[in-house]
Structures are given as C-alpha cells and as structure tokens.
A and B are shown apart, each in its own frame.
Chain A
Amino acid sequence: NAGVTQTPKFQVLKTGQSMTLQCAQDMNHNSMYWYRQDPGMGLRLIYYSASEGTTDKGEVPNGYNVSRLNKREFSLRLESAAPSQTSVYFCASRETPSYEQYFGPGTRLTVT
C-alpha cells in the first residue's frame, strides 16, 4: 500500500513554462486535494475534488488547473509558471465521511 504518491519530487521551471504535477492514491478515497505550502503561510488549498468527476476551487486557484482523471489520480497543471508559484506542493486524499486527510510526499517546485 503506497498511500499517496506524487511525481516529480523536484522540478525547476523557467518563467512561462508549463508542467503537470501528478498525484495518485491507492486507498480508494473519494476526495483529493492540492495544497501549496510557503514559509509562514501554512498549507493553502489550491483545488479539490470531492468525488470523481467534480473539481472545485480552493483558496488560491489562480494560475492553476486540475483534472480528476479517475478515482485514483488528480493532476495539477501550471500553464504558464511564474516565480510566485515557487513552493512545495502537496496532494492529499480523504475517505468520506471522515475528515482526516492523508498527504503525499510533496513536489518542490522552483520557478526562475
């Protein structure tokens, strides 16, 4: 049981480049989440998917898009990366009706 996995672990982009962060969970959870974590800011929700086929904006969605590909996979896309998107990105999943979330190991993204 791998839990929540994320790829890549590290990425460096130039301003304006695009990329997709991948997340998969093998716990058969319904809900999945994307967060970013910046020093002193804590975890901020970018987008979430309450169930397969649905996605909703979180606190900081601008500059990002998401796709819930199937129940297991939830990807985050940066269409035109900006230095302000330099951060650590965490994916998480939750089995309803519990509210406990379980996190992947994170992707460290630097945009120069």
Chain B
Amino acid sequence: RKEVEQDPGPFNVPEGATVAFNCTYSNSASQSFFWYRQDCRKEPKLLMSVYSSGNEDGRFTAQLNRASQYISLLIRDSKLSDSATYLCAVNYRGGNKLVFGAGTILRVKS
C-alpha cells in the first residue's frame, strides 16, 4: 500500500460545479498536511496547508479526518482556471520530508 494515495481521476466537471478530492495516508503519526496545485508542465505550487480544525481560502476548503486518515479538498464554483493536477503531501512527525500523492487531475469545462 502506498503511503499517500489519491484517485488519479480525471474529474471532469462543468464550470460552477462543486468538486471534492480525498487523499488517504497510511502513517498515523502524520503531522502536517498540504495541498499543492500543478499546472501542465509546471512546478507544484503550494495551494494551502490543512489544519486540524479545517480551513478555508476563498472557494477552497481543506479538511482533515485523523480517525479515518484522510484529507480532503473542496472546490466551490469551479472555474476553467482551476483545471490542474492537485497533489496532497504529508509530513511525518519530526521528519524533514514530505511524501506526495501521485495527484488528481481536474478538468473544468465550459
């Protein structure tokens, strides 16, 4: 089993739709969680950190479920410009490294 798993998609949604992705992690000692966005042929860019109480940044909401060991990303009112690959990343307590999922492809269509 991979340490961090994501549904590769693609998720094809119309503009204005709400879409959610999950990311499961296997190590219960995981401490810090992140969502990155990666456009085609570009570098990953930090989208948002995921806090225990959940957090929101505009149309984006991130949630953490420690009991079931997953994080989620909800995108409301999808825009064409949201089309990208979304990577989750997990840090294990005290470690210097992030472990990344393989990413979920989102395609928003008009």
Question: Using a CB–CB distance below 8 Å, which chain A residues touch chain B?
Answer: 31, 33, 40-43, 45, 48, 50, 56, 58, 90, 94, 99-106
Question: Using Cβ atoms and an 8 Å threshold, which residues of chain A touch B32?
Answer: 99
- Tell me, in angstroms, the Cα distance from A38 to B69 when the chains sit together: 26
From DSSP, what is the main secondary structure of chain A's interface residues?
strand
**Contact flags B62-75 to A (C-beta < 8 A → 1, else 0):** 00000000000000
Question: Using a CB–CB distance below 8 Å, which chain B residues touch chain A?
Answer: 8, 31-32, 34, 42-46, 49, 87, 89, 91, 96-98, 100-103
Question: Using Cβ atoms and an 8 Å threshold, which residues of chain B touch A31?
Answer: 96
User: Which 10 A-B pairs have CB atoms at the shortest separation, nearest pair first?
Assistant: A42-B102, A103-B43, A43-B100, A99-B91, A99-B32, A50-B96, A42-B100, A103-B44, A105-B43, A106-B43
Q: Is the CB of B87 within 8 A of A43?
A: yes
Question: Using Cβ atoms and an 8 Å threshold, which residues of chain A touch B34?
Answer: 99-100
The one of A42, A56, A105 that contacts B42, using a Cβ cutoff of 8 Å: A105
The one of A43, A45, A94, A99 that contacts B44, using a Cβ cutoff of 8 Å: A43
